[in-house]
Amino acid sequence: MTQLKRVPLADQAADVLLARIRSGEWALGARLPGETTLAPQLGVGRSTVREAIRQLAGRGILDSRQGSGVYVTALDAPEDWEQMLRHADIVAVIEARTAIEVEAATLAAARRAPSDLRAMRRALDVRTIPGQTVEEHVDADMALHRSIVVAAHNEVLTELFDGFVPRVRRAMVDMLRIRPAPEASADQDAHAVVVDAIADRMPEVAARESRAHLDALKAGFRS
């Protein structure tokens, strides 16, 4: 039996406040009424109002100014990162991945440590283990790409890449089930060229080959 989740009161209060802002009740830059006014309007306690305001402040909608009050700083909330990725076309996701991974390959060629190279080589070998399921192959592929991003030693790039993994993984599994990838050896060689360029500290080659691979992947989804 499916269990219904109870939505916390603060979340509900935040949703009501956001709806009122979207409706134009408070203009951009307007000061919200105080907690003692909002609490009875929303049917909740003052602590719940404070938590709702904190939530909306965290999303960039409100700004709580010490000794002054709470002000509207945006009229709508930007779409949640994970929700945005769920809705995005896979080609758009690959294009964004390209921006991240090409830069990561460039940085990795300059910054990689011996441990990074060992991780990349291991991940490269795992991609060709015989008898893999589609899911295992995709997971091995994503692990290799992630090892390259990690070798860039930029936490923001790694975090961004990790945000793409679930969306890309599902799309890759679906595509490979419908249309198995031709010339597995050529695909493996393309990945090996990127790793070798990083090992040889050749950032331009690493970037070029990384882009070429992802462009080919994008073309596969378009065809």
- The amino acid present at 200, given as its one-letter code, is D
**Residue 4 predicted with pLDDT over 60:** no
Q: Please indicate whether residue 180 or residue 18 has the higher confidence score (pLDDT).
A: 18
Tens-place pLDDT, residues 186-216? 889 999 999 999 999 999 999 999 999 999 8
Residue closest to 189 by CA, chosen among 207, 161, 219, 209: 209
| Domain spans, the chain | 9-72, 81-222
Q: How far apart are CA 185 and CA 189, in angstroms?
A: 6
Tens-place pLDDT, residues 49-102? 999 998 888 777 888 888 889 999 888 766 665 566 555 678 888 899 999 999
- pTM: predicted TM-score of the whole model, two decimal places: 0.64
What class does CATH assign to 9-72?
Answer: mainly alpha
CB contact at 8 A, 133 and 86: no
Half-sphere exposure of 101 (CA within 13 A, CB side): 29
Average pLDDT, the chain: 87
Q: Tell me the CATH number for domain 81-222.
A: 1.20.120.530
Half-sphere exposure of 82 (CA within 13 A, CB side): 3
The pLDDT, as a whole number, for residue 25 is 93
Q: How far apart are CA 212 and CA 98, in angstroms?
A: 9
- Three-state SS at 71: strand
The answer for 146, left when phi > 0, alpha when psi is -120 to 50, beta otherwise, is alpha
Tens-place pLDDT, residues 22-39? 898 998 889 999 999 999
Q: How far apart are CA 154 and CA 173, in angstroms?
A: 28
